[in-house]
Chain A
Amino acid sequence: MSDEALRRLPVGSVGHKPFGWWGMLTVVMTEGSLFAYLLFTYYYFVVQYGRIWIPEAPSLRLAGPNTVILLLSSAFVWWAEKSAARGKTKAQSLGLAIALLLGVVFLAIQVLEWRDKPFTLGSGSYGSAYFITTGFHMAHVVVGALMLAAVLLWSLLGYFDRERHAALSIAALYWHFVDLIWLTIFFTFYVTPYIG
């Protein structure tokens, strides 16, 4: 360990070293599995019942733009984290605020989409699968938005600098994950009925 002794170790939550960052990776793993099982449920029904199980050709009118909105929010979160690493605290707060706003818009549009549907939670297994799956995802967006809100608050309080912004990185990881999950849901419910 002699040459080791020359090295210096950072103290506290610096960069991606803190336990919390790794903890969030495990959250991503287990929550990713949760959605895999939800989608498994969907495909299981499709295999059992065939195409007729899907009551309507799902419309992309709202879901399409909404997907773009969510992806955009990820981009702003990414920008916020980059800004944090460069010590640009204003851009960091701004990026978080915009991302949070876009997240809320996504939720609002989802509610509209829900109201448009000709089926309900209780009108057969397709409706159940649709509302439960998208509902689970919305719950995750809500949690992600709360995280962004907390991180924004801490950002405005000046808690973060270019080294110490672990909470921001961790929330960002979660947010990207939630967006990625939306893509799989979007693909499953909105795209697969049109292919094959």
Chain B
Amino acid sequence: MAVADSDRSLELQQSGAPARERLARIWEGEAGLRGWLSTVDHKEYGKRYIATAFIFLILGGLEALVMRVQLAGPNKTLLTPEQYNQLFSMHGLTMIFLYAQPVLSGFSVYLFPLLLGARDMAFPRLNAFSYWIYLFSGLFIYAGFVLGYGPNDGWFNYPPYASMRYNPGPNMDFYAIGMILFGVSSTAGAANFVVTFLRARAPGMSINRVPILTWGTVTASFGILFSVPAVSLAFFLLWTDRQFGTDFFNSGQGQPLLWQHLFWIFAHPWVYVVVLPAMGIVSDALPIFCRRPLVGYTVVVLATVATMVMGFGVWLHHMFATGIPYLALSFFSAASFVITIPSAVAVFAWIATIWTGRPVLSTAFLFFAGFIVMFTLGGVSGVMTAAAPADQQLTDTYFVVAHIHYVLIGINVLAVMGGLYVWFPKMTGRLLDERLGRWNFWTVFLGFNIAFLPMHWTGLAGMPRRIYTYPEGLGWTAVNVVTTIGAFILAAGVLLLLVNMYVSRRHGAAAGPDPWGGPTLEWATTSPPPTYNFAVIPAVASRHPLWEGSLDESGERSSLQRGMILDDGKEMLTTTALDAEPDAIQKMPPDTLAPLLAALAATALGAAALLHAWIGATIFTLLLFAALLVWLWPQRAMGQISEQAHV
């Protein structure tokens, strides 16, 4: 039978046991190692992203603890200056690149199709590819670190210090090439989110009915598509400056400041990339525990998009101290004030949701409430640094370090932890322990504030960031001791979460499909969901398909048990971008090793370039193209080939 010989009608059927069995046979992959390596199931990669990101969080955390021991008193000699440089650089880049964004990708990769009522991401193989190359890029940078060549110029890596003349080892080259690989990963992931969001929503899920988490992720993804090229390019040019004598950032005929522009044009939007999806987690999950819909859905969506757009116009506030013209200073200072408005809007929406709801004080709720508090504090210290005159005083002091951590731990880590309490049951079928959860929350929350609140003072007292030690008698000792104690308490809090996950995965209470009484589609399927996610493609009639009964919204009801079954092979429905009307039936690819092989070839190409092994580089380029050719070869089974072709 020709797979795709004719159009198909939109036949609606009841989901039932025979259909489920058929779908399971179609969608389930091989068992064993090969199956593990070749699967393209988004749920697998979502979990892998989260697990890998947590491993990097732990590594970055250990690096931080070593630094904190070194700084616990004046004139300590645990670390040499070079070791300290490598540690804060590795810590910063690990947290920002290898933890903060991938962990959110993990949530989104896992949840996207479930929230949207789809069977997988638009590009399941690309999804696998972006995971693998993320993993390899992290290993690549860490390989340099293990060999003693970790980046040592901070995560933002300014030339001329990063140029060959002042930094002759291969440290910077590991970082540069690793970051280019990482850029490929985040870009591939972003493209996948954008297309899935636009084209793979359940029928009826028009653009104003989409869960906020997907809005946050898709907005961040557009941010990635537009901003990541700046940093990949910057790192590439830095590498050619170092290795092939180009002259972009050298202080001769080049421009060291050009690096700062390219870097911050990327890195300021990146700040939103690592928080917008986290804000989405809160916007979607907090209402579950307030037993009411989010207040101001439309405003929050607009605020999300506005933040990202404006995020491209404020990069210069990282360069206030570089002697840029006065006019630019004023403009970017003003713009940085304005950008706080949409964030404030979101904060008020959450507060109003709690205020007018009936809050259930679960662990997840505590994390989200903590998130709101930290967000506000981080916002205040942010506004302070956005004021150019204040920043002249605060820049490069511990005040900035305090600010970064309030923003990143507050908005990212707390949201992620809360999100785990909410969706871990979906992923594993087991609830996390609530008692341990409370201990977990309070240890993290208190440890964090003990560590970082005093740091504002450390900065105001003049302690510069990135110094490996300090002399006695400057009044910095006591605060540093407190910070170090807080850091260890915070670390213990993270450990409690890991223990909770480890224990609950086996012994937690069974979750059932919908342990929290959630409103969105992921709660309509079993925990963990079957490989095909939904037995019938749900048809959505409101923003809260599962709350339609209790919210008493008049009008049409969503249909979750009756819909299209699509069981003629691996199939997915595409819908139109705005109204989500059914548009076509897509054939989805089977499991394959091609993405893994392509990621391996790309990484090997990076390694060969690092070593100037040009023959190797050529071979790996050819292998990469071969893997892509196999990957993209049109398939009859996927309806990509003319029905008349004799193949």
A residues lining the B interface (CB < 8 Å): 1, 4-14, 17-19, 22-23, 26-27, 29-31, 33-34, 36-38, 40-41, 44-45, 48, 121-122, 124-125, 127-129, 131-132, 146, 150, 154, 157-161, 163-167
Contact = CB atoms under 8 A, between A and B. Distances in A.
Interface of B: 3-4, 6-12, 122-123, 126, 187, 190-192, 194-195, 198-200, 203, 224-230, 232-233, 237, 240, 244-248, 253-255, 258, 261-262, 265, 539, 559, 571, 573-574, 581-587, 625, 629, 632, 634, 638-647
Contact of A158 (B230, B261, B642): B642
Nearest to A121: B246
B582 A159 contact: no
B642 A146 contact: no
Contacts of B200: 19
B639 A158 contact: no
Contacts of B253: 124-125
B641 A125 contact: no
A26 B640 contact: no
Nearest to A8: B7
Contacts of B233: 34, 37-38, 41
Given A23-B195, A167-B632, A132 B229 contact: no
Contacts of B194: 22, 26
A125 B199 CA distance: 44
A26 B225 contact: yes
Given A31-B229, A33-B226, A37-B262, A11 B642 contact: no
Nearest to A122: B245
Contacts of B224: 30
Contacts of B244: 121-122
Given A12-B638, A37-B262, A121-B246, A22 B198 contact: yes
Given A30-B191, A128-B248, A160 B8 contact: no
A17 B198 CA distance: 12
Contact of B644 (A18, A29, A48, A161): A161
A14 to B, nearest CB: 6
Contacts of A150: 629, 632
A158 B646 contact: yes
Contacts of A44: 255, 258, 261
A162 B200 CA distance: 25
B574 A17 contact: yes
Contact of B586 (A12, A26, A30, A37): A12
B243 to A, nearest CB: 11
Given A19-B122, A124-B253, A166-B640, A30 B574 contact: no
Contact of A41 (B126, B240, B248, B625): B248
A27 B632 CA distance: 16
A45 B253 CA distance: 9
Given A12-B3, A12-B639, A150-B629, A7 B10 contact: yes
Contacts of B262: 37, 40-41
B248 A13 contact: no
A37 B237 CA distance: 12
Given A1-B539, A8-B8, A19-B199, A13 B643 contact: no
Contacts of B585: 9-12
B644 A26 contact: no
B230 A146 contact: no
B186 to A, nearest CB: 10
A126 to B, nearest CB: 8
Given A34-B232, A164-B643, 9 more contacts: A1-B12, A9-B7, A11-B6, A18-B586, A122-B244, A161-B643, A161-B644, A161-B645, A164-B639
Can you list the 3 inter-chain pairs with the closest CB atoms, starting with the nearest? A12-B639, A122-B245, A161-B642
A165 B123 CA distance: 18
Of B7, B229, B262, most A-chain CB atoms within 10 Å: B229
A26 B195 contact: yes
Contacts of A33: 225-227, 229-230
Nearest to B9: A8
A45 B8 contact: no
21 contacts: A1-B12, A4-B10, A5-B12, A9-B10, A11-B3, A11-B584, A13-B586, A13-B587, A13-B634, A14-B584, A19-B122, A22-B195, A29-B226, A30-B187, A30-B225, A31-B229, A33-B229, A125-B254, A127-B247, A160-B641, A167-B640
